[in-house]
Copies of this chain bind each other. A is one copy, B any other.
């Protein structure tokens, strides 16, 4: 799902924002070449998403525009760690302002905050559900029209000859939809490409991905996913729901939209990374919940991908958002389906009811399931390897928006052609029973009262195809149809993932898996029926290929995405039946073990190719010999408690270092002793201080001047203006700034002998951004940041160190 696009887009756009001071690299010692955007025509359009609360930012836009040109070729070495990504601060900055506010607040105040958190989560769930509902209805309507038109056309030409006209009609329709979808994504918001799951994973991990949670991204994402699904690509509309939910959460919880230039003046307390990230977790969960009708699965997804610190109330709130989301979707869909109040459509994809005798499985089937898990792992690894190469190719050669759009259109045309050819040459005719569930049965060359079985798989939205593979009567597909379908769809899906369109990989994976799973089921049934003639009971167990389709789908999906607990629960919730819990778990576990032997999961591959400093759960096992002294960056730029404005401006303007956090130290006056750590202050705080000219001299002269409040920092959050936009006169440069009130006086510290796993644990568990390394006299000797920790990973030859680079 357009990860190459993401690559190109993440880099190009991020450079743009780096120039705008939003995403400046953190570590010193590496130069920062100002890459510029490759798109020259769209300059004015891009401003939409970047309206800032600070007017000063506008000034540099023209300057930034002039920097645009062709991008350098982007390095695509997965052994790199990009310096362009910022961290989120999950640790509160407990400075005096903050503590004063908290101390002023009564118990009732905290209760009200808690209640508003619940309200926000309810809203998140509701809006996410509405979006899912909107996508579902629009897709169904448009696809319905499309398939109806094509079907009528095919029926018209089947007997008259000239089916090539039908093919062209079909291809052109697909083509058009996909073109629209690709254009809006590639030209207007490249970050909206793909499912957005890797980006949300990064965000929840604590990496700031520029523009990932903006309203504009959401709009493009929703339109894009409608276009690509209606355009008949091998994609699903489920993955993007997770991203959509996250955007909704980030928007609602902040009580304002910079894209719309509206500030509702509510939820101002939530304007900091800690709170925002909690809400984004809830949004992602609500997205999963709406996509699969899996509220518990949604919660587990959020926790598995994001949470470092588990908090009971937070989890419960996330669950609430999930529940509201699936309920909202269900409710509105029930009205749409003219059956109000019937709450049986909990998600966008519904695996249908697995009930009655067909759901039971027997002990001796378990080895079979495990074998299918292994197949899923192998096929998933193959999928990932192919997609990895494809992504490398795309990063090298397909990074221009127009090329991306053309590739998407090519894929659309090829998909339509291949589907058509497969249907055309298939002679798998099935009787059209009265209780047939086919929405658009194609008769084609079949006898009257029969329909083409291959068309059920191809000439349908993927969700419906999955459901028919799970539930159609035994005998509705012949093995050859399934085999051919698996093969073609596998390559189509693999090619499609990474295009510049908004789309998810869940449904194609399920579809591939369901196809070969059903094939396995049919083969097993035929083997057992020949070997045990007359053993009616035993063949009854094997008779239902739908069960194997489900297991195959789980295996394939697990082999591709490698999620664990959350995927198990999602699958169980989507089937609406807990009986399959154990086999699904075994299958997913096998698929993960087998797949991990060859290649990482799809999302991890793409995260790695983006060189994101992603922190895993634990430090590499064999890293005990590293200590904070080796890991940290040093020397550190420190500030004094009372510092000259000129010094601060110079430090902040120094593009060669571009630090984001500065330890504040106190020097014993007149002594030669090294300075002791007494606090930590962030670039963003200094910028706000400079902007408001909080200088010691001015405070003395203007006594009536209002004191700087936490509100001023919150208003600037999260897009603080760059230092270049702050005008400091020569006189002001001589003033002094008193940092005591604004710095965090109790930053977390570690001694320099601390082992890497210990540093890692502290950093990860508390979601830190800066960790100060001190010596035994409490003097600053270094600073550990995300990149210092993410750098070490376990390669094939033991511990490896990734290179830091300005990609």
- Check if B794 sits within 8 Å of A103, measured CB to CB: no
**One of A213-221, A383-391, A761-769 contacting the partner:** A761-769
- Check if B625 sits within 8 Å of A103, measured CB to CB: yes
Shortest CB distance A601–B (Å): 12
- Check if B307 sits within 8 Å of A310, measured CB to CB: yes
Q: Does A361 contact B (CB under 8 A)?
A: yes
A residues 604-631 near B (Cβ < 8 Å) are: 617-618, 621-622, 624-625
From B110, B568, B573, contact of A319 by CB (8 A): B568
Return the chain B residue nearest A340 by Cβ: B363
**Contacts of A352 on B, CB cut-off 8 Å?**
none
Q: Does A748 contact B (CB under 8 A)?
A: yes
User: Assuming A106-B622, A310-B307, A762-B748, is B320 touching A589 (CB within 8 A)?
Assistant: yes
Q: How far is the CA of A110 from the CA of B620 in the complex (A)?
A: 10
Q: How far is the CA of A589 from the CA of B310 in the complex (A)?
A: 19
**Contacts of A733 on B, CB cut-off 8 Å?**
none
**One of A146-154, A499-507, A750-758, A785-793 contacting the partner:** A750-758
Q: Does A224 contact B (CB under 8 A)?
A: no
Q: How far is the CA of A621 from the CA of B363 in the complex (A)?
A: 52
- Check if A344 sits within 8 Å of B323, measured CB to CB: no
**Contacts of A618 on B, CB cut-off 8 Å?**
311, 313
- Check if B331 sits within 8 Å of A99, measured CB to CB: no
Q: Does A316 contact B (CB under 8 A)?
A: yes
Q: How far is the CA of A581 from the CA of B745 in the complex (A)?
A: 46
- Check if A316 sits within 8 Å of B765, measured CB to CB: no
Q: Is the interface of A mostly helix, strand, loop or mixed?
A: mixed
- Check if B309 sits within 8 Å of A565, measured CB to CB: no
**Contacts of A299 on B, CB cut-off 8 Å?**
565
**Contacts of A94 on B, CB cut-off 8 Å?**
754-755, 758
Q: How far is the CA of A649 from the CA of B364 in the complex (A)?
A: 63
- Check if B310 sits within 8 Å of A581, measured CB to CB: no
Count of this chain's copies in the oligomeric assembly: 2
Q: Does A654 contact B (CB under 8 A)?
A: no
Q: Does A777 contact B (CB under 8 A)?
A: yes
Q: What per-residue 1/0 map shows which CB atoms of A708-731 lie under 8 Å from chain B?
A: 000000000000000000000000
A residues 361-379 near B (Cβ < 8 Å) are: 361-364
**Contacts of A751 on B, CB cut-off 8 Å?**
745-746
**Contacts of A622 on B, CB cut-off 8 Å?**
105-107, 110
Q: How far is the CA of A103 from the CA of B622 in the complex (A)?
A: 7
Q: Does A778 contact B (CB under 8 A)?
A: yes
Shortest CB distance A434–B (Å): 22
A residues 641-695 near B (Cβ < 8 Å) are: 666, 676-678
Q: Does A577 contact B (CB under 8 A)?
A: yes
From B582, B666, B750, contact of A343 by CB (8 A): B582
A residues 547-576 near B (Cβ < 8 Å) are: 564-565, 568-569, 572-573, 576
Q: How far is the CA of A106 from the CA of B94 in the complex (A)?
A: 41
Q: Does A308 contact B (CB under 8 A)?
A: yes
Shortest CB distance A518–B (Å): 23
From B103, B295, B312, B617, contact of A311 by CB (8 A): B617
Q: How far is the CA of A755 from the CA of B296 in the complex (A)?
A: 35
User: Assuming A581-B296, A582-B323, is B360 touching A99 (CB within 8 A)?
Assistant: no
Shortest CB distance A716–B (Å): 23
Shortest CB distance A666–B (Å): 8
> 27 A–B contact pairs at CB < 8 A?
A92-B758, A107-B622, A295-B581, A295-B582, A296-B572, A309-B309, A309-B310, A309-B765, A315-B564, A326-B582, A341-B363, A341-B364, A343-B361, A343-B579, A343-B582, A572-B578, A576-B578, A577-B577, A577-B578, A578-B578, A676-B776, A745-B753, A746-B754, A765-B765, A765-B766, A777-B777, A778-B778
